[in-house]
A and B are shown apart, each in its own frame.
Chain A
Amino acid sequence: MTNLRFWLRWSWRDLRERWLQVAAIALIIALGTGTYAGLGSSMPWREQSYDTSYAQLNMYDMRVLFTNGSYVNGEELIAAVESIEHAGWIEAAEPRLIAPTLVDVSDGEDVLVPGRIMGVTISEDRSAVNGIHINAGRSLTAEDSGQPRAILEYNFAAYYDLPPQGTILISGGQALDYVGQGMTPEYFMVISDEIGFKEESDFAVVMLPLETAQTLTDHPEQVNDLVLTLADEADWETVRAEVEAAIAAHFRGTGVSFMHTEDDPAYTMLYGDLEGDDQIFKLIAYLFLAGAAFGTFNLSSRIVEAQRRQIGVGMALGLPRRLLAFRPLLVGAQIALLGVVFGVLIGVLISNLFGGMMRDLMPMPVFETPFQWGIFAQAAVLGIGLPLAATFYPVWRAVRVQPIDAIKTGHLIAKGGGLTSLLARVPLPGKSFTQMPLRNLLRAPRRTLLTLLGVAMAITTQIAMIGMLDTFNEVIDQGEQEFMQDSPDRMIVALNNFYPVNAEPVLAVEQAGPVAEAVPAIQLGGELLRGNDSVEISLELLDLDNPLWTPNLLEGRLESDGPGIIIAEKAADDLGVGVGDTITLKHPRREGMFAYHMVESEIEVIAIHANPLRYLSYMSRDQAGLMGLENMVNVLYLNPADGSTATDVKRVLFAQPGIASVREVGMFIRIFRDMMSLLVGFMSVVVIAVLALAFLIAFNSTSINVDERAREIATLFAFGVPVRTVTRMTMVENLITGILGTLIGIGLGLLSLQWMLDSRIETMLPDLSLSVVLSPLALALAILLGVVVVTLTPLLNLRKLTRMNLPSTLRVVE
Chain B
Amino acid sequence: MIHLENISKRYQVGDVSVSALDNVSLTVEKGEFVVVLGPSGSGKTTMLNVIGALDVPTEGQVYINGDRLPLVSKQTDRFKFRRETVSFIFQSFNLFPSLTALENVQLVLDMADAPDAREKAIEVLNDVGLGERINHFPHELSGGEQQRVAIARALATGNPVLLADEPTGELDFRTGVQILDLLRRQAEAGKTVLVVTHNREISRVADRVVELSSGHIISDGAPRGGKVSIAELSW
- Give the B-binding residues of A (Cβ under 8 A): 409-410, 413-417, 420-421, 424-425, 431-433, 435-436, 439-440, 442-443, 711-712, 714-715, 717-723, 725, 802, 806-807, 810-811, 813
Contact = CB atoms under 8 A, between A and B. Distances in A.
Contacts of B54: 718, 806-807, 810
A425 B106 CA distance: 15
Interface string B64-98: 00000000000110011111100110101010111
Contact of A443 (B81, B98, B106, B153): B98
B138 interface: yes
A725 B111 CA distance: 9
B137 A719 contact: no
Nearest to A416: B137
Contacts of A720: 79-84, 111
A715 B96 contact: yes
Interface stretch (B45-53, B210-218, B225-233): B45-53
Contacts of B106: 431-432
Given A719-B157, A813-B92, A414 B103 contact: no
A802 B94 CA distance: 19
B160 to A, nearest CB: 14
B181 interface: no
Contacts of A802: 75
B149 interface: no
Contact of A432 (B49, B55, B99, B139): B99
Contacts of B127: none
Nearest to A412: B97
B117 A416 contact: no
21 contacts: A415-B139, A416-B140, A421-B137, A424-B137, A431-B106, A431-B117, A432-B117, A433-B111, A436-B98, A439-B98, A712-B97, A718-B52, A719-B83, A719-B108, A719-B153, A720-B81, A720-B82, A721-B79, A806-B54, A807-B49, A807-B54
Given A425-B135, A721-B83, A807-B54, A414 B111 contact: no
A436 B111 CA distance: 13
A413 B54 CA distance: 23
Contacts of A714: 94
A339 B80 CA distance: 44
B100 interface: yes
B139 A718 contact: no
B79 A717 contact: yes
B151 interface: no
Contacts of A420: 98, 137
B21 interface: no
B96 A722 contact: no
B55 A807 contact: yes
A414 B137 CA distance: 10
Contacts of B152: none
Among B92, B97, B111, B138, residue most surrounded by chain A Cβ atoms (within 10 Å): B97
B88 A414 contact: no
Contacts, number: 100
A442 B137 CA distance: 14
Nearest to A802: B75
Contacts of A421: 137
B88 A719 contact: yes
Given A432-B107, A810-B94, 4 more contacts: A409-B92, A439-B98, A440-B98, A811-B45
Interface of B: 45-46, 49, 52, 54-55, 75-76, 79-84, 87-88, 90, 92, 94, 96-100, 103, 106-108, 110-111, 117, 135, 137-140, 153, 157
A718 B75 contact: no
Contacts of B140: 416
A243 B81 CA distance: 100
A806 B106 CA distance: 23
A432 B110 contact: yes
Nearest to B46: A807
A416 B52 contact: no
Among B55, B96, B138, residue most surrounded by chain A Cβ atoms (within 10 Å): B96
B100 A424 contact: yes
Contacts of A811: 45
A797 to B, nearest CB: 16
Given A432-B107, A813-B92, A439 B99 contact: yes
Among A421, A431, A720, A807, residue most surrounded by chain B Cβ atoms (within 10 Å): A720
Given A416-B139, A719-B83, A436 B99 contact: yes
A425 B133 CA distance: 12
Nearest to B94: A715
Contacts of A442: 98
Contact of A433 (B76, B110, B138): B110
A486 to B, nearest CB: 65
A310 to B, nearest CB: 18
Contacts of B139: 414-417
Nearest to B92: A813
Nearest to B137: A416
B98 A416 contact: yes
Contact of A416 (B45, B110, B138): B138
Contacts of A725: 111
Nearest to B91: A811
Given A436-B99, A712-B96, A813-B92, A719 B82 contact: yes
Contacts of B108: 719
A439 B157 CA distance: 23
Contacts of B90: 715, 810
Nearest to B83: A720
A492 to B, nearest CB: 70
A722 B45 contact: no
Contacts of B76: 722
Nearest to A420: B98
A734 to B, nearest CB: 16
Among A410, A432, A440, residue most surrounded by chain B Cβ atoms (within 10 Å): A432
B97 A413 contact: yes
A711 B83 contact: no
Contacts of B82: 717-720
Contacts of A439: 98-99
Nearest to B150: A715
A420 B139 CA distance: 12
Contacts of B103: 432, 435
A702 to B, nearest CB: 17
Contacts of B98: 416, 420, 436, 439-440, 442-443
A73 B3 CA distance: 116
A67 to B, nearest CB: 82
Nearest to B146: A414
Contact of B96 (A424, A436, A718, A810): A436
B90 to A, nearest CB: 6
Contact of A424 (B46, B83, B110, B135): B135
Contacts of A435: 99, 103
Nearest to A418: B98
B23 to A, nearest CB: 20
B138 A414 contact: yes
Contacts of A436: 96, 98-99, 107
B69 to A, nearest CB: 13
A417 B97 CA distance: 9
A799 to B, nearest CB: 12
A152 B120 CA distance: 88
Contacts of A409: 92
Nearest to B154: A719
A443 B52 CA distance: 31
Contacts of B138: 414, 416
Among A413, A421, A442, residue most surrounded by chain B Cβ atoms (within 10 Å): A421
Contacts of B94: 711-712, 714-715, 718, 810
Nearest to B78: A720
Contacts of A717: 79, 82
A806 B140 CA distance: 27
B119 to A, nearest CB: 13
Nearest to B104: A432
Contact of B45 (A425, A719, A807): A807
A413 B108 CA distance: 21
Nearest to B121: A432
